C-alpha cells in the first residue's frame, strides 16, 4: 500500500515539473486530483521543505 501511495505522489510531482510556472501548473491539474486540492499541492511541491525530502 505504501508503495502505491509513493508512486502516486511521484506521478503528481512529475505533472508539477512539466510546467515552468505556478500559473501554468495551476491551470493544468491532474485528472485524478480535485482542482481545490491541486491549489494546495503546487506550493507544497515548490517549498524548500519538499525539496529536501
Structural domains in the chain (count): 1
pTM of the full predicted structure?
0.82
Which domain covers residue 30, as residue numbers? 2-52
pLDDT > 90? residue 20: yes
Q: What is the pLDDT of residues 21-34, one digit of tens each?
A: 999 999 999 999 99
- pLDDT band at 39, cuts 50/70/90? very high
| First-last CA distance in the chain | 20
* Best CA proximity match to 15, nearest among 1, 2, 26: 26
Amino acid at each position: 500500500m505504501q508503495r502505491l501511495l509513493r508512486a502516486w505522489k511521484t506521478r503528481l510531482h512529475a505533472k508539477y515539473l512539466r510546467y515552468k510556472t505556478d500559473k501554468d501548473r495551476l491551470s493544468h491539474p491532474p485528472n485524478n486530483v480535485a482542482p481545490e486540492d491541486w491549489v494546495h499541492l503546487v506550493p507544497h511541491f515548490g517549498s524548500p521543505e519538499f525539496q529536501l525530502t
